[in-house]
Structure 1
Amino acid sequence: MKVSTRGDYASRALLSLALHADSTGPTSVRDIAERTALPQPYLEQILLALKGAGLVRSKRGVGGGYVLARPPDQISLSDIVSAVDGPIVAGDFGEPHTDGACDHEGQCVLLAVWADVGEHMRRYLEAATLADIVRMARGEAAWPGETTSSPAITPTWAGTTAD
């Protein structure tokens, strides 16, 4: 799976909102764009998709902008990526034959492998919350890859803290 630009930008935007959640009131699209160095017109489209998915709320007018619709520990990376990119899968290959008979050499085995890879990615992103990423960004938790637990099912930062 390749995380799209939309998925990356959506994650960056929500991380910015989470990092600045203590500030009073909504954050303008302009402020989010400046903090994250993202193009504002594209960011506006992404925020609308995130709003449609129930991940952010907006307020119009003077002092308006966006806030998280749920606490960061209730928003997974899977929620964010799925909101802008659709279902998390390793590819659009279809389902393997259920009876084990394949029309082409090895095709069913590979389709089963790709489905399994997609499932591992989905579970990994479901286990990682925006709160986890906030803790890492603030230096309160280890970054991915800094521990020895397997990232295939559980993010490497789950349950760890930085030294």
Structure 2
Amino acid sequence: MRISQKLDYACRAMAQLAKRYDGQTITRLDELAQREAVSSNFLVQILNDLRRGGLVESRRGKAGGYHLSRPPEAINLREIVESVEPSLLNITTHTEGESGSAVRQTWQAISDRTRTELESIDLKQLAEGGNEPMYYI
């Protein structure tokens, strides 16, 4: 499965925010970018997508930055995927021809299992990256 750079960076930024989560601590954009070796300009676009998805909150100004909108264990990978790459889990096959319907059903079943697997991995697990098996999406 090919994961976009945008989704990879989104997961990495969210993992960083999860490591600092206490419900109050704000992390500056430049700190996130530096820790994950990501361009600040690209990261701000990603964080805006995550903010629109309800996963992060931002604060402007000198003491501004980002923090998770909910505890890390209440955010799963599916939510991150749907915030930054909403089309990733969409099935775009056609049902024409003799095998079209069967092929589409198979891809739909795979997509459904992938969604379920993404929902089973929370941000706390991703940030800790240790004891639980790691699934690469």
Fold in common (TM above 0.5): yes
**Share of identical aligned residues, percent?**
33
Match of 2:16 in 1: 16
> What letter is aligned with 2:109?
D
- The 3-state SS of whatever aligns with 2:57 is strand
- The 3-state SS of whatever aligns with 2:115 is helix
Could you tell me which runs of 5 or more consecutive residues in structure 1 were left unpaired when the two chains were aligned: 97-102, 146-163
Report the TM-score, using the length of structure 1 for normalisation: 0.75
Following superposition, the deviation at residue 134 of structure 1 comes to 2.1
Q: Deviations over 1:82-128 (max 9, x none)?
A: 0011155264125x5xxxxxx41311111110111111111110111
Match of 1:130 in 2: 123
For 1:12 and 1:28, the matched residues in 2 are separated by 15
> What letter is aligned with 1:144?
M
Q: Deviations over 1:55-103 (max 9, x none)?
A: 0011111111000000001100000010011155264125x5xxxxxx4
Would you say the 8 A contact 1:89–1:115 is kept in 2?
A: no
1:144 maps to which of 122, 134, 137? 134
1:107 maps to which of 71, 80, 100? 100
Q: Which has the larger radius of gyration?
A: 1
For 1:55 and 1:23, the matched residues in 2 are separated by 13
CA shift in 2, pair 1:92/1:2, >3 Å:
farther
CA shift in 2, pair 1:23/1:119, >3 Å:
closer
After superposition, the CA RMSD in angstroms is 2.2
Could you tell me which runs of 5 or more consecutive residues in structure 2 were left unpaired when the two chains were aligned: none
Match of 1:60 in 2: 60
Would you say the 8 A contact 1:90–1:117 is kept in 2?
A: no
> What letter is aligned with 1:83?
S
